[in-house]
Amino acid sequence: MEYRIERDTMGEMKVPADKYWAAQTERSFENFKIGTEVMPREITHAFGILKKAAALANFNLGKLTEEKKNAICAAADEVISGALNEHFPLVVWQTGSGTQSNMNANEVIANRGNEIAGAKILHPNDDINKSQSSNDTFPTAMHIAAVLAIEDGIFPAMDRLIATFRRLEEENEGIVKSGRTHLQDAVPIAFSQEISGWRVMIEKSKEQLTLSLKGLKELALGGTAVGTGLNAPKGFDTEVAKQVSALTGKTFVTAENKFHALTSKDAMVFAHGALKGLAANLMKIANDVRWLASGPRDGLGEIFIPENEPGSSIMPGKVNPTQCESLTMVAVQVMGNDVAVGMGASQGNFELNVFMPVIAYNFLQSARLLADGMVSFEKNCACGIRANKEKMKHNLYNSLMLVTALNPYIGYENAAKTAKKAYKENISLKEACVGLGFLSAEKFDEVFKPEQMAYPQK
């Protein structure tokens, strides 16, 4: 491998000749050989956005020449597009402020910008990092990445799943089945009603995530090192937020209190709490689906789901609910990530939180997994759910909890006696009720309407 010599305030460093990074990135690359978790590409993308926004703001405020602004913007565009991803090698397990990833962005954009300009006009600190500090850029990158992950990744996946559940509701209207509570038989419910519960879970999670966006759209940029805004021109914070908004199509604002923005990560905790809520709902939905599809002969077997691949290397013909299992594993990972996000956010000592890379890593992994998981579940499972009407009807009429319909006519205690007699003697509820003398056969038929029990208000 060929190398070139780069210099920083600590001396000279050998850097791979074909890479745009410089001395500070190389020091981090060599000093933190920890794990395989590279800084999320969403953060790299966000740094491209904020560095371009900062260049535009500095130019508009008279702090940067047009030549430098153009070179920075051109290089930043390549960062944003992902064309320079190979030049961002640093791992998550680095300095807790993310300083080295900020310098990675500064060095790459400076070297690539100089190449574009055809002259060495840009300095990583003096130009790319002008009016900034790692302490306000990394939390800004976190917020930009989080907003994009939610609005452009999670929301479309949620909308897709919501639309599928709404279609399934319409297709299964009027199909009544046995309800279940405590994994035991309960009173009847329409399958469409059951599905509507799944749909509203996703809709409510979307409402909660939407609520969390307000805090994420507040940017720390302009606070510089400790929140005072030292070395940033007046108006830079509002101008750079305006530029970030224009570049992303999202409405970002400058944080009113930069001291809070630098040291507290409560907006990330709040938003990830909504992600955890979504994970909990998806866990419940996926478990419902695989329980209802269990069988095919010795389980509940009330629904059919798509058969996507063989389920066993030893049992021929076995097919498993793999999409459900995948989604529940995603949910478990997100719940674990929530602990890491919360613990990391609690480490805001004095003027800075120094657990930001691990917070960003876990947050963005959760968002990515949830978005991908919902798309896969909808495409490969939910869209193909079909009711096993015969099995639903059989289970409905075999349920002892239909006796609940008799409460108004024979009372709770007599209804309980009826159910227990039917269960013990393996006879129908009608035979038990008539045999106990609580109702005549004709009256029983008059009041006992299982399908109507799912729509008591009609």
Strand (E) or helix (H) holding 12: strand 11-16
Query: CA of 14: how far to CAs of 101, 124, 372, 420, in Å?
Result: 18, 17, 40, 83
* Pairing mode of beta strands 11-16, 184-190: unpaired
Structure tokens at 69: 């602004």
Confidence of residue 344 (pLDDT cuts 50, 70, 90): very high
User: Rounded mean pLDDT of 332-346?
Assistant: 98
Active site residues: 182, 312
Query: CA of 310: how far to CAs of 307, 320, 322, 323, in Å?
Result: 8, 7, 10, 13
Residue 85 in contact with residue 48, Cβ under 8 Å?
no
Structure tokens at 298: 């010795």
Query: CA of 299: how far to CAs of 292, 378, 389, in Å?
Result: 8, 23, 15
Q: What is the pLDDT of residues 379-432, one digit of tens each?
A: 999 999 999 999 999 999 999 999 999 999 999 999 999 999 999 999 999 999
Residue 43 in contact with residue 142, Cβ under 8 Å?
yes
**Side-chain half-sphere exposure of 315, counting CA atoms within 13 A:** 6
Angle between the 266-292 and 191-216 helix axes, to the nearest 10 degrees?
170
Burial 264-293 (b: 16+ CB within 10 A, else e): bbebbbbbbbbbbbbbebbbebbbbbbbbb
Confidence of residue 188 (pLDDT cuts 50, 70, 90): very high
3 state DSSP class of 3: strand
Q: Residue 457's pLDDT is what?
A: 82
Rg value, the chain, Cα: 30
Query: DSSP state, 405?
Result: G
Q: What is the pLDDT of residues 272-327, one digit of tens each?
A: 999 999 999 999 999 999 999 999 999 999 999 999 999 999 999 999 999 999 99
Q: How many helices (H) and strands (E) does the chain have?
A: 17, 10
Q: Residue 458's pLDDT is what?
A: 74
Angle between the 266-292 and 356-380 helix axes, to the nearest 10 degrees?
30
Confidence of residue 348 (pLDDT cuts 50, 70, 90): confident
CA distance 118 to 115: 5
Q: What is the pLDDT of residues 94-138, one digit of tens each?
A: 999 999 999 999 999 999 999 999 999 999 999 999 999 999 999
User: Rounded mean pLDDT of 345-363?
Assistant: 96
Q: What does the mean pLDDT of the chain come to?
A: 97
Structure tokens at 102: 């900020």
| pTM score, whole prediction | 0.96
Strand (E) or helix (H) holding 5: strand 3-8
Report the chain's terminal Cα–Cα distance, integer Å: 78
Confidence of residue 230 (pLDDT cuts 50, 70, 90): very high
Peptide bond preceding 296 in cis form (omega within 30 of 0): yes
Structure tokens at 197: 């519960």
Estimate to the nearest angstrom the gap between the alpha carbon of 454 and the chain centroid.
34
Residues 6+ apart with CB under 8 A from 98: 134, 137, 138, 141, 356, 357, 360
User: Nearest CA to 122 among 76, 67, 84, 44?
Assistant: 67
User: Rounded mean pLDDT of 225-246?
Assistant: 98
Residue 5 in contact with residue 13, Cβ under 8 Å?
yes
CA distance 88 to 184: 54
User: Rounded mean pLDDT of 444-448?
Assistant: 95
Q: Residue 140's pLDDT is what?
A: 98
Indicate whether 449 pLDDT > 90.
yes
Instruction: Give the angle subtended at the CA of 156 by the CAs of 208 and 279, to the nearest 5°.
Output: 45
Q: Which residues of 68-212 form beta strands (DSSP E)? A: 176-181, 184-190
Residue 111 in contact with residue 22, Cβ under 8 Å?
yes
Percentage with pLDDT > 90 across the chain: 99
